Amino acid sequence: MKKVVALLLLALPLIGCAAKEDEGGQKESTQMSEEHQANKEKKETLSSQDDTENNSKNNASKNTNDSESSESKTSDQPTLSKQEAKQVALDYEEAITHTIQVMEDDNEENDYTSTSEIASFYKETMAEELASSNAEELFWTRDGKFQVKPRDGGLTLQPDQPFTFNKLGDQTYEIVQERNNELIGHIKAHFKLTHNGNRWVMQEITREELQ
């Protein structure tokens, strides 16, 4: 019995040491787990910050590219000065005058033979619709001969008279000139110019009656 008691007394310190070791191990394990979790959270925070910074940089880069693209598109738009617009109007009138003179001179071999041929020539200075309508209004075939229609003169710009010049859109401008004479009355002539992809041409001519 004494031996048993003695053995128990000897075992108690060992059990206490083991308990302390287990407790220390648990504490150390808990500390390591907490440190691991903290490091993980720190990494996630840094990763989130990096993603935010990258997104900000990407957005800034995209905005810069969009701005540069917008500026590039704006700078690529064709522009027209008042003097250039005046020349477009004069070229329009000259094209009509040329075709009439060719058809009325004595050299019949040089004559145009159809409205489609004349319209094709007019497209150098006029929009397609205006070129076709002018060809139809100015020429016809009578008695088997293609010739000039009898008609009054059309509405053209008077270059030595004042006129205003307005921008209507990115590729559309307008010349406005007030006219007052017995032939056409008191009007405002509107000459609309447009860019056809290659050059500036006359798009439309209208008149506004004035009192």
pLDDT tens track for 109-163: 889 999 999 999 999 999 999 999 999 999 999 999 999 999 877 899 999 999 9
State whether residue 164 is helix, strand or coil: strand
Residue 189 has pLDDT above 90, yes or no: yes
pLDDT more than 70, % of the chain: 64
**How far is Cα 128 from Cα 132, in angstroms, rounded to an integer?**
6
Distances (CA, A) of 146 to 76, 119, 153: 43, 14, 19
Least Cα distance to 83 among 161, 155, 156, 165 occurs for 165
**How far is Cα 146 from Cα 140, in angstroms, rounded to an integer?**
6
Residue 186 banded pLDDT, cuts 50, 70, 90: very high
Which pLDDT does position 21 carry in this prediction?
44
Which pLDDT does position 151 carry in this prediction?
83
Look at the pTM and tell me if it is higher than 0.75: no
Residues 6+ apart with CB under 8 A from 201: 88, 92, 123, 124, 125, 126, 127, 193, 194, 195
Instruction: Please state the rounded mean pLDDT for residues 46-50.
Output: 55
| DSSP 8-state code for residue 150 | P
Residue 69 banded pLDDT, cuts 50, 70, 90: low
Q: Furthest-apart CA pair in the chain: how many Å? A: 154
| DSSP-assigned beta bridge partners for residue 165 | 175
**Quick one: CA dihedral 15, 18, 24, 28, positive or negative?**
negative
**Phi, psi for 160 (deg, rounded to 5):** -90, 0
**How far is Cα 44 from Cα 37, in angstroms, rounded to an integer?**
10
Residues 6+ apart with CB under 8 A from 31: none
Give the other-Cβ count within 10 Å of 112's Cβ: 19
**How far is Cα 200 from Cα 89, in angstroms, rounded to an integer?**
10
Burial 173-207 (b: 16+ CB within 10 A, else e): bbbebebeeeeeeebbbbbbbbbeeeebbbbbbee
**How far is Cα 58 from Cα 66, in angstroms, rounded to an integer?**
12
State whether residue 189 is helix, strand or coil: strand
Residue-wise pLDDT for 7-28, tens only, equals 344 444 444 444 444 444 444 4
For the chain, give the mean pLDDT: 79
CA 24 to chain centre: 73
